Copies of this chain bind each other. A is one copy, B any other.
Amino acid sequence: MESEFIAWLRERLPAHPRLGIGVGDDAALVRMDGSGVLVSVDVLTEGVDFRLSEVDPRRVGRKALAVNLSDMAAMAAQPRAIVVGVVLPRTHGLELAQQLAAGMIPLAEQFDLAFAGGDTNTWDGGPVISVTILGEPAGRGPLRRSGARPGDIILVTGSFGGSILGHQFDFVPRVREALALNAGYELHAAIDVSDGLALDLSRLARESQCGALVRIDQVPIADAACELARRDGRSPLQHALADGEDFELILAVPPDEAQRLLATQPLDVPLTAIGEFVAEPGLWQVDAAGQRTKLPASGYEH
């Protein structure tokens, strides 16, 4: 099946100028400009990240790539290439592999990624997709999680919550936004929101050895969070803070630069200030009345 799939795939993938050696050898050679490579892997599994009985495999394939692109966005890196490992069920394995690939290819083309190889396996279990992405430092260099300082403003792209209604599969990773911001502005740190706004913010703060104070009435809430709240009785804000899979960016930005960004709004997606980093560790919330309390770092724990 593997050779058949590779033959099918080779027809659909144009020769990429960065592939010195492409699919079909023991390894691919990806030409890079610099001397450093950013690398990240994400694994998606049936029953945890998707259910093929409920979702088109093409959307699953697209998502497997999109979550990796989001990691590159979180580093403000220029994505260059991917390798893909898939484990497939014995029945209809080739068909599934083709559908997964068909979902990945348009997104790979949109971001000019080289497909630098893969491995397919067939077994008695459910499908697993592992995507490894390679990128290069861009702009002012990689944006770490650890660079936030007390006083920095917490800026976020887009809005949060309710991704389960569709956004979790259809989001556009914020690669272009991150590259534009990192090229033109002084940013201190970034993370992408995969597991929940509150949880991922707490991670960024912890890596930066500081705390974060969220102005709870400033959190941009997605329409989907309101829709979901109507169905399940939890508040839209709860959804926005804890749902995860928003794949928006949280940025730590010095106050002057944050003002400039908020005033000029240079992106197609809104930038919103939702609070600031503080010296005291932990996650805090302030409501519209100025009441300050602990904010639970809720979200999806693996």
- 1/0 per residue, CB under 8 A from B, across A66-99: the answer is 0000011011010001011111000000000000
Q: How far is the CB of A8 from chain B (nearest CB, A)?
A: 14
> Is there contact, CB below 8 Å, between B134 and A39?
yes
Q: Which residues of B contact A46 (CB under 8 A)?
A: 123, 125
Residues of A117-144 whose CB lies within 8 A of B: 117-126, 128, 130, 132-135, 137, 142, 144
> Is there contact, CB below 8 Å, between B35 and A35?
yes
CA distance A48 to B41 in the complex (A): 23
> Is there contact, CB below 8 Å, between B27 and A39?
yes
> Is there contact, CB below 8 Å, between A35 and B32?
yes
The reply on A34 being an interface residue by CB < 8 A is yes
> Is there contact, CB below 8 Å, between B24 and A30?
no
The reply on A177 being an interface residue by CB < 8 A is no
> Is there contact, CB below 8 Å, between A31 and B39?
no
- From B24, B36, B47, B191, A26 is in contact (CB under 8 Å) with B191
> Is there contact, CB below 8 Å, between A123 and B75?
no
CA distance A21 to B189 in the complex (A): 13
With A43-B86, A137-B29: A48-B302 Cβ-Cβ less than 8 Å: no
CA distance A71 to B117 in the complex (A): 12
Closest B residue to A73 using CB positions? B26
The reply on A25 being an interface residue by CB < 8 A is yes
Name A residues whose Cβ lies closer than 8 Å to a Cβ of B: 1-3, 20-21, 24-49, 71-72, 74-75, 77, 81, 83-87, 116-126, 128, 130, 132-135, 137, 142, 144-146, 190-192, 207, 301-302
